[in-house]
Copies of this chain bind each other. A is one copy, B any other.
Amino acid sequence: MSAVFQPLPDARAGCALCTQPGGISLWQDAAWRVIRAEDADHPAFYRVISRHHVAEFSDLLAPERQRCMALVCRIERVLLETLRPTKINLAAFGNMVPHLHWHVIARFDWDSHFPQPVWGARQREVEGGAAARLGLPLATLDACVVEALSARD
């Protein structure tokens, strides 16, 4: 189930996403890898990361962009169907680490930052922790994500 992170031969020495997993490694193919971020406030938080160092989404060729967003959408569908979140949030910033990665986050009207982005101001404390309110264990959610990513087109 797990995908062991291995830097590629063209890894950039100073780049955190070239040299480190950046979360719990779940899946990879030749071009993309998927991790779950370890965020106690937003436990259903995945990232689709380019395995090669590229900064901007439009630096990719159209078929690579389509593949990338297809992976993002597979994760999004799993989150929608298993968790029934209030909203999905998608984002590619890279201000801190300019190595293309997409955030895919299930948001809930009860979560610590809703309706602000997870990078915005905290709105409330969630008693008992967010993971306990998801309705299923993270290991089960991870397994559903990996299954969806591994499915043939």
Give the size category of A's interface with B. Answer: 20 to 34
CA distance A46 to B93 in the complex (A): 15
Q: Which of B58, B98, B107 contacts A95 (CB 8 A)?
A: B107
Do B58 and A76 touch (CB < 8 A)?
yes
Copies of this chain in its oligomeric complex: 2
CA distance A23 to B69 in the complex (A): 27
CA distance A80 to B59 in the complex (A): 10
Q: What 0/1 pattern do residues 65 to 83 of A give for CB contact below 8 A with B?
A: 1100110110011001000
For A65, list chain B residues within 8 Å (CB).
Answer: 69, 73
A96 at the interface (CB under 8 A from B): yes
For A69, list chain B residues within 8 Å (CB).
Answer: 57, 65-66, 69
Do A76 and B96 touch (CB < 8 A)?
no
Known: A57-B73, A90-B91, A91-B92. 14 other contacts (CB 8 A): A56-B88, A57-B76, A57-B88, A58-B73, A65-B73, A66-B66, A89-B91, A89-B92, A89-B93, A91-B93, A95-B107, A95-B117, A96-B115, A117-B120
